């Protein structure tokens, strides 16, 4: 059965509080964290981008799984912040990692679900024996216009999952997707920062797609929320995923281990994938995990995973758990963030 053989996560150590961002722009800073459900967010350094984050997470995935780079037969990099408009991220990452040149390398874009789309696509490679191992990555240095509400939550991070059909730590039991043309978030090629529909993006966009993809998969698998030990949903803020989980019948206890948005913000394509990794860090064998991503534009990918006894050995080898990286942090002020914006966008 196709499943996760190994995974790795990289979260930049810099953190900033949303209230400090509000204060820097002369906005009311009281209760900003409370209203968004985000206490602080991860900020990439000036020399970090979607490529470097993906490389760090993937090195850890290879090391954790004790997998040789030349055994990887395909790679996808899902991101909303690819460094180049025309030049693939996947080949750059593959070259740095030392992957073989005879492989499929693909860049994916679908807002915040670009990473999970890679898991779906590459599972077919393994299932048809086209490759022994494949690498699906979600990596983002989340973009937001300075002073926009997105700036309070847009974080940075990467998650890499190596799929195979032997010695898996968690098997993919099933998945499904739900998509529609719902323009809640967009950025034209010539524009530096994305635009969004503000408060109108909730019900017709996020909740509609997450609910329908999740409900469809539950019906397809004949499973109920109570049949799962853990669950994770895409986390654009601290309120939406909790509300979506409760609407579907999942409890706060089920989503707690993967609820990382309050501590690192929303790393876009890596959001639900880092949440899944956080759950795998603490899960026990033979437990079921539900995951549903969301990407603006709009669509959701829903998955059912089941852990295996091999997970316990993997957890002992993994020296860079999500919670350990969350705790390994350095608080910064907005002046550093501003310098990064000026350097990156030349404004």
Average pLDDT in the 205-212 region? 96
Q: Is 292 a catalytic residue?
A: no
Q: How far apart are CA 199 and CA 101, in angstroms?
A: 45
Query: Is pLDDT at 330 greater than 70 in this prediction?
Result: yes
> pLDDT-based confidence at 203, cuts 50/70/90?
confident
> What pLDDT digit, counting tens, does each position of 91-140 carry?
999 999 999 999 999 999 999 999 999 999 999 999 999 999 999 999 99
**Above 90 in pLDDT, residue 312?**
yes
> What is the per-residue pLDDT across 248-280, written as a single tens digit (0 to 9) for each?
999 999 999 999 999 999 999 999 999 999 999
Answer yes or no: is pLDDT of 199 > 70: no
Distances from the Cα of 237 to the Cα of 55, 79, 172, 224, 347, angstroms: 26, 18, 27, 25, 28
Q: Which tokens belong to 104? A: 């499929």
Tokens of 263: 């501590």
pLDDT over 60 at 178, yes or no: yes
pLDDT of residue 244 exceeding 70, the answer is yes
pLDDT band at 65 (very low <50, low <70, confident <90, very high): very high
> DSSP H helical segments within the chain, as ranges?
18-24, 32-36, 50-65, 89-97, 114-127, 208-221, 240-248, 252-255, 261-264, 271-282, 310-317, 322-327, 334-345
Distance CA 179, CA 55 (A): 30
Residue 347 pLDDT > 70: no
Confidence of residue 204 (pLDDT cuts 50, 70, 90): confident
Q: Does the pLDDT value for residue 345 go beyond 70?
A: no
Average pLDDT over residues 20-39: 89
218-246: average pLDDT: 97
CA dihedral 135, 136, 137, 143 (to 10 degrees): 150
Residue whose token pair is 């393994």: 126
Catalogue the long-range contacts made by 241-247 (C-beta closer than 8 Å, 24 or more residues apart).
242/37, 243/207, 244/206, 244/207, 244/210, 244/211, 244/214, 244/292, 247/207, 247/211
CA atoms of 226 and 85, how far apart (whole Å) = 44
pLDDT of residue 214 exceeding 90: yes
- DSSP label at 203? I
Q: What pLDDT is recorded for position 115? A: 98
* 171-309: CATH class: alpha beta
Question: Helix, strand or coil for residue 119?
Answer: helix
Catalytic residue among 48, 112, 151, 306: 112
Q: Mean pLDDT across the stretch 303-314?
A: 98
Q: How many CA atoms lie within 13 A of 81 on its CB side?
A: 29
Q: What is the mean pLDDT of the chain?
A: 94
pLDDT confidence bin for 313, thresholds 50/70/90: very high
User: Does residue 10 contact residue 325 with C-beta atoms inside 8 Å?
Assistant: yes
> Is residue 234 annotated as part of the catalytic site, yes or no?
yes
Please report which helix (H) or strand (E) contains residue 76, including its range.
strand 72-78
In the chain, which segments carry CATH 3.40.47.10?
A: 3-169+312-345, 171-309
Q: What token pair was written down for 270?
A: 């890596």
Structure tokens at 15: 């953190």
Q: Is 64 a residue whose pLDDT tops 60?
A: yes
| Cα-Cα-Cα-Cα dihedral sign, residues 38, 43, 49, 52 | negative
Catalytic residue among 80, 151, 209, 306: 80
Handedness of CA 335, 338, 344, 346 (dihedral sign): negative
CATH C-level class of 3-169+312-345: alpha beta
pLDDT the model gives residue 8: 98
Catalytic residue among 151, 209, 234, 292: 234
CB 279 within 8 A of CB 288: no
Instruction: Please tell me whether the overall predicted TM-score, pTM, comes out greater than 0.85 for this model.
Output: yes
Record the tokens describing residue 271, joined without a space: 């959001």
Q: Nearest 5°: CA angle at 185, between 179 and 191?
A: 130
The region of weakest confidence among 76-80, 107-111, 184-188 is 184-188
pLDDT of residue 14: 96
| H or E segment and range at residue 14 | strand 14-16
């Amino acid at each position: 059965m196709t499943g996760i053989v190994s995974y790795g996560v990289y979260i930049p150590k810099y953190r900033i509080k949303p209230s400090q961002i509000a204060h820097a722009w002369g906005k009311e800073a009281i209760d900003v964290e409370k209203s968004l459900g985000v206490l602080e967010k991860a900020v990439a350094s000036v020399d970090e981008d979607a490529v470097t984050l993906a490389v760090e997470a993937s090195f850890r995935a290879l090391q954790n799984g004790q997998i040789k780079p030349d055994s990887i037969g395909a790679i996808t990099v899902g991101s909303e912040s690819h460094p180049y408009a025309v030049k693939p991220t996947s080949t750059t990452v593959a070259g740095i990692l030392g992957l073989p040149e005879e492989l499929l390398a693909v860049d994916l874009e679908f807002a915040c679900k670009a990473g999970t789309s890679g898991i779906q696509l590459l599972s077919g490679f393994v299932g048809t024996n086209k490759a022994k191992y494949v690498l699906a990555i979600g990596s983002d240095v989340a973009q937001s216009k300075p002073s926009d509400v997105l700036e309070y939550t847009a974080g940075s991070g990467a998650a890499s999952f190596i799929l195979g059909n032997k010695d898996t730590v968690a098997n993919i039991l099933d998945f499904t997707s739900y998509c529609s043309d719902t323009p809640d978030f967009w950025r034209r090629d010539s524009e530096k920062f994305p635009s969004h529909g503000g408060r109108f993006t909730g019900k017709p966009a996020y909740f509609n797609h997450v609910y329908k993809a999740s409900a469809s998969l539950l019906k397809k698998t004949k499973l109920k929320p109570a049949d799962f030990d853990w669950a994770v949903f895409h986390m654009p803020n601290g309120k939406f995923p909790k509300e979506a989980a409760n609407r579907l019948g999942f409890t706060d206890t089920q989503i707690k281990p993967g609820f990382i948005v309050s501590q690192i913000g929303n790393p876009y394509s890596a959001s639900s994938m880092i949440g899944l990794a956080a759950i795998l860090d603490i899960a026990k064998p033979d437990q079921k995990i539900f995951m549903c991503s969301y990407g603006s534009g709009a669509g959701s990918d829903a998955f059912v995973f089941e852990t295996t006894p091999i997970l316990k050995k993997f957890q002992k080898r993994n020296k860079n758990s999500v919670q350990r990286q969350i705790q390994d942090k350095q608080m910064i002020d907005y002046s550093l963030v501003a310098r990064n914006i000026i350097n990156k966008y030349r404004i």
